[in-house]
């Protein structure tokens, strides 16, 4: 039996710069791996079987873990997913699970096949989870450039019941943003998320929570990915924990920035 942690991500910034001929969108984003994680357990089996402690998560061919195992040609393993990363929260849980599966099965079965092309076939976020750390990304999100590590700011994640599908979020966009280039992201004033405008129009409470995080002392606050998680970064643990107490009626999680080469 092998257990691995499958870490979530946030986006410090996310700009959608255009639509591609292949139907995907071009992005400019800064990814950050964080300590919130699912746990994947791999055991020997005579067939491929995926289970999950969250019964709302499909465990058939719709699950990226199943797709990752099949893409590697592995059909003799049982994989159990213990979920903490909410689905549809903009934290990349499914993509992280897929990357963790690719890396773990590749080691277990001594596979030599390059993982990056498979990761991209599974999803635009999956290649980042093979790299981890802090990264500037363009293309669909797969052109990864490591950048200086983010400060170790304690994070507070506000996790609403509302969920936003990625496809729905892209359909709601009304404009594209010009790319700024990697150098611009040395300055947090350039951090933005193009999905906030349409998602906040649909769910005004999310905008209120972002504003509340700033009022409670966050140095930075934003929606992660295509939503719906709202993230605040604080100067210290005490101010972060004090802010958490101001959200008694909604699920919250504390997390840390993961530095170095930590991966899914």
Q: Pick the more confident residue, 218 or 166.
A: 218
Output phi, psi for 77, to 5 deg.
-155, 145
- Which member of 67, 125, 194, 210 is catalytic? 125
> What CA–CA distance (Å, rounded) separates 14 from 137?
9
- Does residue 174 register a pLDDT over 90? no
Q: Are residues 198 and 225 in the same domain?
A: yes
Q: Given 146, 178, 204, which residue is the final one in a domain?
A: 146
Q: Given 98, 113, 146, which residue is the final one in a domain?
A: 146
9 is catalytic: yes
131 touches 264 (CB < 8 A): no
- CA 25 to chain CA centroid, nearest Å: 17
Q: Are residues 161 and 113 in the same domain?
A: no
Task: Spell out the residues 6+ positions from residue 55 whose beta carbon is closer than 8 angstroms to its own.
Answer: none
> What CA–CA distance (Å, rounded) separates 50 from 183?
42
The model's pTM is: 0.94
> What CA–CA distance (Å, rounded) separates 95 from 248?
30
Q: What is the tens place of the pLDDT at every residue in 57-72?
A: 999 999 999 999 999 9
Q: For residue 129, what is the enclosing H or E element?
A: helix 126-131
156 touches 234 (CB < 8 A): yes
- The answer to whether position 113 is within a domain reads yes
Q: Given 127, 146, 165, which residue is the final one in a domain?
A: 146
Q: Determine the structural domain holding residue 169 and report its residue range.
A: 155-255
- The answer to whether position 261 is within a domain reads no
What is the percent of the chain with per-residue pLDDT over 90, rounded to a whole number?
87
Q: What is the tens place of the pLDDT at every residue in 86-100?
A: 998 999 999 999 999
DSSP-derived pairing of the beta strands 143-146 and 77-82: unpaired
Tell me the mean pLDDT in the region 140-161. Answer: 94
Q: Are residues 133 and 170 in the same domain?
A: no
Alpha helices in 57-92 (DSSP H): 64-71
Domain count, the chain: 2
Predicted confidence at residue 262, as pLDDT, reads 62
Q: Are residues 132 and 200 in the same domain?
A: no
Predicted confidence at residue 79, as pLDDT, reads 98
Radius of gyration (C-alpha) of the chain in whole angstroms: 18
- The answer to whether position 119 is within a domain reads yes
Q: Are residues 139 and 35 in the same domain?
A: yes
Q: What is the tens place of the pLDDT at every residue in 122-137?
A: 999 999 999 999 999 9
Instruction: With cut-offs at 50, 70 and 90, classify the pLDDT of residue 261.
Output: low
Tell me the mean pLDDT in the region 204-217. Answer: 97
> What CA–CA distance (Å, rounded) separates 139 from 4?
29
Burial of 174 (0-12, 13-18, 19+ CB in 10 A): exposed
């Amino acid at each position: 039996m092998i257990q691995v942690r499958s870490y979530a991500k946030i986006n410090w910034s996310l700009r959608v710069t255009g639509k591609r001929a292949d139907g995907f969108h071009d992005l400019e984003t800064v990814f950050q791996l964080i300590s919130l994680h699912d746990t994947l357990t791999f055991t020997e089996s005579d067939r491929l079987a995926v289970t999950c402690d969250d019964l709302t998560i499909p465990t058939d061919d719709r699950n990226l873990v199943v797709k990752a195992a099949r893409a590697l040609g592995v059909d003799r393993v049982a994989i159990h997913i213990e979920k903490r990363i909410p689905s549809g929260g903009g934290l990349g849980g499914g993509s992280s699970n897929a990357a963790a599966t690719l890396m773990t099965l590749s080691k277990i079965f001594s596979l030599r096949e390059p993982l990056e092309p498979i990761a991209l076939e599974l999803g635009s976020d999956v290649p980042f989870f093979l790299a981890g750390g802090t990264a500037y990304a363009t293309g669909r999100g797969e052109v990864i450039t490591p950048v200086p590590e983010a400060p170790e700011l304690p994070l507070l994640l506000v996790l609403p019941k509302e969920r936003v599908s990625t496809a729905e979020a892209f359909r709601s966009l009304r404009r594209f943003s010009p790319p700024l280039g990697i150098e611009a992201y040395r300055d947090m004033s350039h951090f933005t998320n193009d999905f906030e405008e349409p998602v906040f129009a649909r769910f005004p409470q999310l905008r209120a929570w972002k504003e509340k995080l700033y009022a409670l002392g966050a140095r930075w606050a934003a929606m992660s990915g295509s939503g719906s998680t709202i993230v605040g970064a604080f100067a210290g643990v005490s101010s972060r924990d004090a802010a958490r107490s101001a959200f008694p009626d909604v699920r919250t999680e504390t997390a840390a920035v993961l530095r170095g080469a930590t991966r899914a």
